[in-house]
């Protein structure tokens, strides 16, 4: 869908304890605001006391005038049902920062999709702890910032990165094979706004060298996992996973090559779902409405 087609559309994401009347209240509210519901998806973990999740996409005539009142007045319904909610304007293009180290396959996949119009974001900057990919990034007319990281300089490096992210009004961050562990302060500053790609089918083979571990176990499937970053290493809410069948003829290097393909596919899907407000996070799980 083009940007022009989204100029009068918005997305409402809600989560709360399941109870009667939620769908009716939301629908009635949007009707009174003159909104036309385009798509509505919902899921209940258990109708008897479980959690309820809902994503509603709607068109709103006279968007500029009505959207602020929708934002303000929905709070009354949210309070009544104790709803956690988020209302997003589809016309606003999210701003994505990319963190990368030396490997370029995930970075290039995102840049290609962005340039081709498949990924509707702005990319105001790329940050790296190595200078290797500077020329590639700048060929896309995107500013590249080299921020070296050592054990001793990590706090200063993260402070500089946070300053740049704030300065560029970034909405979310993608770790496109950024080989650094983020501090608790950084993660808390951007809760559920940092997406990582792990080169393994989590929860198997967490940490470093997953393809070596996979080779040693003689796996028949390899995979990649895109997830939100938390302070528990490689254990954040999973957004997407991709797998590829392999066999005993694959060497460790063959597994790495095949793995790069599943990594970039899983990451691109996860980023696209995040951009389109199709992900609801609850505790350590995600609910995807795509």
- DSSP code per residue over 197-259: EESS-TTTT-SS-HHHHHHHHT-SEEEEEEEE--SSTT-SPEEEEEEEE--TT--HHHHHHHH
- Containing 181, the helix (H) or strand (E) segment is none
Among the options 122, 234, 254, 277, which is catalytic?
234
- b/e sequence 6-37, b meaning 16+ C-beta within 10 Å: bebbbbbbbbbebeeebeebbeebbeebebee
Distance of CA 66 to the CA centre of its chain: 28
Cα–Cα nearest to 287, from 84, 47, 41, 53: 53
- Residue 234 annotated among the catalytic residues of the structure: yes
- Containing 267, the helix (H) or strand (E) segment is helix 252-275
- Please state, in angstroms and rounded to a whole number, the distance separating the CA atoms of residues 161 and 39: 38
Question: Could you tell me which residues are beta bridge partners of residue 41?
Answer: 55
Cα–Cα nearest to 65, from 2, 8, 4, 3: 8
Distances (CA, A) of 169 to 8, 95, 111, 182: 23, 7, 19, 20
Query: Integer distance in angstroms from the first to the last C-alpha of the chain?
Result: 14
State the Cα torsion 227-230-232-234 to the nearest 10°.
Answer: 20
Active site residues per annotation: 234
């Amino acid at each position: 869908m083009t940007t022009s087609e989204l100029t009068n559309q918005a997305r409402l994401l809600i989560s709360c304890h399941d109870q009667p009347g939620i769908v009716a209240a939301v629908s009635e509210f949007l009707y009174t605001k003159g909104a036309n519901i385009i798509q509505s998806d919902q899921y209940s973990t258990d109708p008897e006391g479980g959690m309820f999740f809902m994503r509603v996409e709607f068109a709103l005539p006279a968007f500029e005038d009505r959207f602020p009142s929708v934002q303000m007045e929905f709070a009354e319904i949210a309070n009544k049902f104790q709803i956690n909610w988020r209302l997003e304007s589809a016309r606003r293009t999210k701003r994505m920062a990319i963190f990368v180290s030396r490997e370029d396959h995930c970075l290039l996949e995102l840049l290609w999709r962005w340039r081709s119009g498949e990924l509707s974001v702005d990319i105001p900057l790329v940050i790296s702890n190595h200078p290797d990919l500077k020329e590639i990034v700048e060929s896309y007319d995107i500013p590249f910032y080299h921020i070296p990281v050592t054990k001793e300089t990590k706090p200063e490096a993260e402070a500089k990165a946070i300053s740049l992210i704030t300065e560029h009004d970034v909405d979310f961050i993608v770790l496109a094979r950024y080989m650094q562990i983020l501090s608790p302060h950084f993660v808390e500053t951007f809760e559920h706004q940092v997406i990582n790609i792990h080169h393994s089918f989590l929860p198997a083979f967490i940490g470093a060298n997953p393809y070596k571990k996979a080779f040693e176990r003689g796996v028949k499937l390899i995979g990649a996992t895109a997830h939100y970053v938390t302070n528990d290493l490689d254990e954040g809410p999973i957004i997407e996973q991709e797998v590829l069948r392999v066999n005993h003829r694959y060497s460790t290097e063959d597994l790495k090559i095949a793995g790069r393909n599943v990594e970039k596919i899983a990451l691109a899907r996860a980023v696209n779902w995040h951009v389109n407000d199709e992900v609801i996070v609850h505790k350590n799980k995600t609910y995807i409405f795509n």
